[in-house]
Amino acid sequence: MEEISAYFQEMTGTAYEVGKQQAVWLKENPRLKTQYIRTEPVTQQAVKETKQLIRPFLPQLDEEFAGFCDEMQLHERYLTFFYSSHLQPGCSHCVRQGDMAAGQQTVMLRNYDFSPIFLMICVL
């Protein structure tokens, strides 16, 4: 049987305080840092656009990010959240490498859901 480790945290307080608590927890678990923080920042425009999309549904998220970033002493542009939440038009790719010994082929998939032409069709 395979075993995995999981973390459960109960955090209370304002959204800002919860963000700070998350940062303190991350400092105690530095191996997980790469899951939350990137080495290359996203653009400020990407942060702005993502916040505009999310704010109507989670207005307190700005404060939570502020608490987290203040405690970690980093700019929010480095948060993985904005990198993974900011959708860019174009196509996405996926590659599955087959096992040559078993006679399997390598397959590449493309998805054009985010192409500008499809976005224009939806708007019309």
Write the Ramachandran bin of 73: left for phi over 0, alpha for psi from -120 to 50, otherwise beta. Answer: left
Whether residue 95 sits in one domain with residue 39: no
Q: How far is CA 5 from the centre of its chain?
A: 21
0.85 surpassed by pTM: no
Whether residue 96 sits in one domain with residue 41: no
Q: How far is CA 63 from the centre of its chain?
A: 17
**pLDDT by position in tens, the chain (length 124):** 888 877 778 889 999 999 999 999 999 988 889 888 999 999 999 899 888 888 888 889 899 999 999 999 999 999 988 777 766 656 566 777 777 677 787 777 766 555 555 445 444 4
User: How many Å apart are CA 47 and CA 76, to the nearest integer?
Assistant: 8
Whether residue 50 sits in one domain with residue 20: yes
Q: Which domain holds residue 102?
A: 90-123
* Residue 73 counted as domain residue: yes
